[in-house]
Structure 1
Amino acid sequence: MTTKPVVLIVDDEILNIEIASAALEDGYEISFALSGHQALEVAQAAGPDLILLDVMMPGLNGYDLCRLLKQDPALSDVPVIFTTSLQTPEAELLGLSAGAIDYVTKPFQPGALRQRVGNHVQMKRMRDQLAGLAMQDHLTGLGNRRLLEQRLQQELRQTGRDGGNLALILLDIDHFKQFNDLYGHPEGDRCLQRVADVLDRHMRRGRDLAARYGGEEFACILNGPDLAGGMAVAESIRAGVEALAIPHAGSRVAGSVTISLGVAAGRPARGALSERWLRDADLMLYRSKNAGRNRVTGSSSAL
């Protein structure tokens, strides 16, 4: 089933919202807000594909709201079309300089409005697809290091603001260089893909993320579990990889492929830095390796 794009209509006049909704409702999910401050809350909750934004509103006007939207990393890529009865070149220039992608004058022409909205939504979806490819590891299908670092900082910011726990797992395939030397890089690639599949099966919450961090190293972001919960997921991943029973005659740990894991978990403080969490998880991974590999070590110090 194809999900309809979401359009957020922001206007302090109900009649204008009804007219725009009538023109767009067949092809889009419609959200609306009656003020700039309400629009910020709705946009953060709805994650719109496009925003139709009235310029002249009491309190937070359209220009100032657009600037705030463009400063929010989660909303900065959402195209904004200004809607206004102002028809001067100066007004249009001011709107475009605030970050809008287009400018529509009132009263609306339904056909023209549908066409403009459709064009910009299609372009946004194409940009999103390209951005997704840039954030994906092509061998395993997981996220890549760039996505992992970006999402970790976002999750720390949101969890630090809203409360709750976060767990970060770093893991490494034991003696993977020897595996490649013995079996060749094509078999090494297949090994990476099978380990990635185990990780992917353990990402059970909507915001959980598994990524290839580099080479034979992977990472997972888990929303919700404390240290004990994060350690339990990490142990399940470890056992899952061991259960694959991929032969590894060059391992000094076992006769099959194993992994070592480090976990940093806890309740992030406001302003928590991703570098600190990565450093703590990496230290736990180092301790797992130093203690003999094929094990999980964790810390709740990354707060």
Structure 2
Amino acid sequence: MTQMKILLVDDTKTILMQLTIWLEALGHEVTSTQDPCQALPLYQQQQPNLVILDVMMENKSGYDCARELREADSGEHWVPIIFLSSAEKDENVQAGIDAGGDDYLIKPVSEVTLTAKIKAMQRIAEMQEQLAHANAQLQALSNTDELTQIPNRRSFNDRYQSEWNRVLRLPENIRRIAIIMFDIDHFKEYNDYYGHPEGDKCLQQVAQAIDQSLTRASDYVARYGGEEFIALVVNEDKEHLKQLAEKIQRNIAKLGIEHSKSTVASTVTLSIGIAVEVPQRGYNKDKLIERADEALYQAKQNGRNRFVILG
């Protein structure tokens, strides 16, 4: 089973030592303290999978510790809390559950009982981990274009919103955002002549070539729909954007994808539209995409296989 990180809080040194020995013998990583006031800092620092709290402590009760931990919890992952106490009345158990506890063991706790409880918590922790992994995979799938394996339009919209908000907080002299739109020239003719399987392969190759051309961590490329792609580039001036567009066109040319039905070249080419803006509060960010689309239209009208930048 998965090794657990356990936070152990008990102001009785002998009990603390005995529990630590048992838990470490089971293969777990234990952080312990006799001071209940250290429970919250240690919880935030160590991010344990399980917390074991004594109830009756001098400086602060285990119930109060549990409430603090629950209030500080982000809610992303459930961390079980087990109380240890010699108080065995029903109202004591109820108080522990009301404080945020998940189990309540009566002292003295036997090694067998504690081991059984820990194993039960392990199983729950493993199921949580598997669920989190599955959710992460589903999230990735929902944000990825199935054919090209780059982000999809939905993912781009989310990233664009977050980057726009981030850039708004930057000094104005480095507050530039550029939207780049790409369209494969005469792709319909390509698809009709070579067939949809070859068309899909073409889209995959072009997507990867664009994606690999934008190398900064903040650069973001997505499939926008059909044969159109879109990119988000932050804090680049027009000269660098011009160089980037030329680089992308060179990389597309290197693919050497035959396109006998194109009127502009014997291989697949791109038309590129670029729009640059210094974000201001109150400005509609969608207008920047519209301007990039306008630049793309101009590139097509001017003969395709070229780029137009609108500042």
TM-score, length of structure 2 as denominator length: 0.64
Change (3 A) 1:121 1:283: same
Matches within 5 A, 1:115-134: 118-134=126-142
Q: Would you say how many aligned residue pairs link Structure 1 and Structure 2?
A: 237
Matches within 5 A, 1:99-110: none
Ranges in structure 1 where 5+ consecutive residues have no aligned partner: 1-11, 26-52, 71-77, 93-102
Q: Judge conservation of contact 2:277–2:288 (CA < 8 Å) in 1.
A: no
Q: Judge conservation of contact 2:213–2:251 (CA < 8 Å) in 1.
A: no
Q: Judge conservation of contact 2:40–2:68 (CA < 8 Å) in 1.
A: no
Distance 1:54 1:228 in 2: 57
Change (3 A) 1:177 1:80: same
Matches within 5 A, 1:1-303: 13-18=37-42, 24=48, 55-56=67-68, 62=71, 78-79=76-77, 87=95, 111=118, 118-163=126-171, 164-300=175-311
Q: Judge conservation of contact 1:264–1:281 (CA < 8 Å) in 2.
A: yes
Deviation at 1:176? 0.5
Q: Which has the larger radius of gyration?
A: 2
Q: Judge conservation of contact 2:184–2:271 (CA < 8 Å) in 1.
A: yes
Deviation at 1:117? 5.1
Distance 2:241 2:297 in 1: 17
Deviation at 1:262? 0.7
Note the aligned Cα RMSD (angstroms). 3.5
Percent pairwise identity: 32
1:127 aligned partner, one-letter code: N
Change (3 A) 1:251 1:160: same
Q: Judge conservation of contact 2:274–2:295 (CA < 8 Å) in 1.
A: yes
Ranges in structure 2 where 5+ consecutive residues have no aligned partner: 1-35, 50-64, 84-93, 106-113
> Per the alignment, in what secondary structure is the counterpart of residue 151 of structure 1?
helix
Distance 1:115 1:284 in 2: 56
Deviation at 1:119? 4.0
Change (3 A) 1:180 1:22: closer
Deviation at 1:238? 1.6
